[in-house]
Amino acid sequence: MEEWQPIETAPRDGTGVLLFDNEIHEGFWDELDYDEFRGAPITGWSYGALSWIDDTNFSPTHWMPLPKPPST
């Protein structure tokens, strides 16, 4: 079984992972082109229908690879 790892070691290539920030979420590192409202590039952790843009309090501290699906 995999162990929780510090968020600094998480993949930042769009790979889906489990993220922990007082709750567990399935998410990924998101790099969008540019936020005209903020005048800056957009990067951050996204999960579900929400992303760091919508939930500025989302700051995961740990990550874990997604488990393998069950075999049929």
- Structurally, the chain folds into a number of domains equal to 1
Q: Is residue 66 part of a domain?
A: no
Average pLDDT over residues 23-50: 75
Q: What global pTM score does this model have?
A: 0.75
Q: Is residue 8 part of a domain?
A: no
Q: Is residue 29 part of a domain?
A: yes
Q: Is residue 61 part of a domain?
A: no
Q: Is residue 30 part of a domain?
A: yes
Enclosing domain of residue 22:
15-53
Q: Is residue 63 part of a domain?
A: no
Judge whether residue 54 has pLDDT over 80: no
- Cβ-contact 48, 27 below 8 angstroms: yes
Average pLDDT over residues 15-38: 83
- Tell me how far apart the alpha carbons of residues 58 and 55 are, in angstroms, rounded to a whole number: 6
